[in-house]
């Protein structure tokens, strides 16, 4: 009896220049879109199976740790492309970072896209390529997803939802409520670059600068930090609401005070200038590549050295200290010698930032 030879799968090819409603219909046009853009673009064996789910061997997961981490986020940034990144790079980086700041090793991502009728296929290809490159950099795979196409005007070009799965190693326990008086607050570089880059990309003001978004995956940097000090108290990525919001969250959860040294906070002069022109506070500007960590004082120097030795942390700095109170209050020691209270952000400084 001769063996049956399994024939190679023939994938569809997308020939249209723009997305139409047919690409979300469930028929051949949609299959061509999925095959040509997503299966070919993300290029991994699990996704190419085109099942309704991705499946993994439990033993493989548990070999990396004893707890699963799961996160999800949606991205609606305007514009889709901006200095230093695009919505695809943003989606992968943001989801990877949400896992990493919990102490997880990111492994797998999902990708759901809501595409507006009329979007250029060339733009979509560029975004998929950016997602793939960022996923490769972060060491993760995009293993399953979903595609919807809505009528022209029902969305703004493209919205992306991603979910991420990671594994937390034994002995790692990061908790926003664990900060203690005497601890130090570290950050891996300049604040506000993403928010300022988005302002510039929108072209609403004739600003002459070279600001780029700090959008990047930080899992490798965070791994180096945890290697230097597995007892790091807590970490967050300072996205919407910026540094001020993250520190307020830490102070409230831990029942402590936090005092920021304004002179120690890394800030580009051109970002400062954008903020002065627009009446914005850089402490509240969004970041997409900044991790804020609270560490025991005895370990601060070793963690800071590990951060500065990493390409994503060369400008890392010690910017604040945890105090005994008042509980939940964040203050700023200003360059002029006084102190002011730094509250949670009220309202929205910049909409559609991520």
- Give the pLDDT score at 5: 57
**Mean pLDDT value across residues 109-126:** 98
Last residue within a domain, chosen from 168, 202, 229: 168
Residues 162, 190, single domain; the answer is no
Question: pLDDT digits over 193-217, tens only?
Answer: 999 999 989 887 767 778 999 999 9
Closest to 349 measured CA to CA, from 241, 215, 212, 204:
241
Facing residues of 165 across strands?
Answer: 70, 108
- Give the pLDDT score at 347: 74
Residues 92, 216, single domain; the answer is no
Distance CA 47, CA 42 (A): 8
Cβ atoms within 10 Å of 27's Cβ, excluding its own: 10
State residue 242 phi and psi, 5-degree precision.
65, -165
Using 50, 70 and 90 to split pLDDT, how confident is the model at 9? low
- Give the pLDDT score at 12: 85
For 47, residues 6+ apart whose C-beta sits below 8 A from its C-beta are 38, 39, 54, 141, 142, 143, 144, 145
Last residue within a domain, chosen from 168, 195, 224: 168
Residues 262, 296, single domain; the answer is yes
| 307 domain residue, yes or no | yes
Residues 242, 134, single domain; the answer is no
Distance CA 331, CA 341 (A): 4
**Mean pLDDT value across residues 161-183:** 96
**Mean pLDDT value across residues 62-81:** 94
Asked if pLDDT for residue 252 goes beyond 60, the answer is: yes
Last residue within a domain, chosen from 144, 168, 192: 168
Residues 250, 314, single domain; the answer is yes
| 176 domain residue, yes or no | no
- Give the pLDDT score at 243: 98
Q: How much is the mean pLDDT over the chain?
A: 94
- Give the pLDDT score at 3: 61
Distance CA 292, CA 97 (A): 11
Q: pTM to 2 decimals?
A: 0.95
Residues 212, 164, single domain; the answer is no
The count of structural domains within the chain is: 2
Residues 144, 277, single domain; the answer is no
Asked if pLDDT for residue 229 goes beyond 60, the answer is: yes
Closest to 306 measured CA to CA, from 228, 219, 216, 223:
228
Question: pLDDT digits over 238-251, tens only?
Answer: 999 999 999 999 99
Q: Alpha carbon of 212 to those of 3, 158, 273, 311, 349: distances in Å?
A: 57, 22, 15, 16, 19
Instruction: Check residues 150 and 3 and name the one with the higher pLDDT.
Output: 150
CATH number at residue 213: 3.90.650.10
Residues 128, 232, single domain; the answer is no
| 349 domain residue, yes or no | no
- Give the pLDDT score at 2: 54
Q: What residue numbers bound the domain in which 209 lies?
A: 184-341
Instruction: Check residues 335 and 225 and name the one with the higher pLDDT.
Output: 225
Asked if pLDDT for residue 310 goes beyond 60, the answer is: yes
Peptide bond into 79 cis (omega under 30): yes
Residues 236, 191, single domain; the answer is yes
| 6 domain residue, yes or no | no
| 347 domain residue, yes or no | no
Using 50, 70 and 90 to split pLDDT, how confident is the model at 234? very high
Distance CA 139, CA 166 (A): 11
Asked if pLDDT for residue 7 goes beyond 70, the answer is: no
């Amino acid at each position: 009896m001769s063996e049956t030879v399994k024939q190679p799968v023939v994938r569809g090819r997308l020939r249209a220049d723009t997305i139409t409603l047919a690409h979300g219909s469930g028929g051949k046009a949609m299959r061509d879109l999925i095959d040509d853009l997503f299966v070919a673009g993300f290029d991994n064996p699990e996704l190419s199976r085109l099942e309704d789910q991705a499946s993994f061997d439990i033993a493989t997961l548990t070999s990396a740790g004893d707890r699963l981490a799961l996160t999800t986020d949606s991205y609606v940034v305007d514009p889709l492309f901006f200095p230093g990144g695009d919505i695809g790079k943003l989606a992968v980086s943001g989801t990877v970072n949400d896992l990493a700041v919990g102490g997880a090793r990111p492994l797998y991502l999902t990708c759901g896209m809501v595409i507006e009728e009329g979007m250029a296929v060339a733009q979509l290809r560029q975004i998929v390529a950016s997602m793939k490159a960022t996923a490769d950099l972060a060491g993760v795979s995009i293993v399953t997803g979903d595609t919807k196409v809505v009528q022209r005007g029902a969305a703004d070009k493209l919205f992306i939802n991603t979910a991420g799965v990671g594994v937390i190693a034994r002995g790692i326990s990061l908790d926003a409520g664990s900060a203690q008086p005497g601890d130090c607050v570290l950050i891996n570089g300049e604040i506000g670059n993403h928010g300022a880059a988005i302002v510039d990309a929108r072209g609403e003001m004739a600003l002459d600068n070279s600001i780029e978004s700090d959008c990047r995956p930080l899992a490798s940097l965070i791994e180096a930090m945890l290697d230097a000090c597995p007892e790091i108290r807590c970490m967050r990525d300072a996205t919407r609401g910026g540094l001020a919001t993250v520190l307020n969250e830490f102070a409230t959860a831990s029942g402590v005070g936090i005092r920021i040294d304004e002179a120690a906070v890394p800030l580009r002069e051109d970002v400062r200038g954008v903020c002065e022109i627009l009446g914005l506070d850089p402490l509240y500007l969004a970041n997409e590549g900044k991790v804020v960590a609270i560490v025991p004082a005895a370990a601060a120097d070793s963690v800071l050295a590990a951060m500065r030795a990493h390409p994503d942390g060369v400008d890392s700095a010690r910017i604040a200290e945890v105090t005994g109170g008042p509980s939940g209050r964040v203050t700023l020691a200003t360059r002029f010698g006084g102190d002011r209270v730094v509250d949670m952000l009220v309202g929205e400084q910049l909409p559609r930032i991520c």
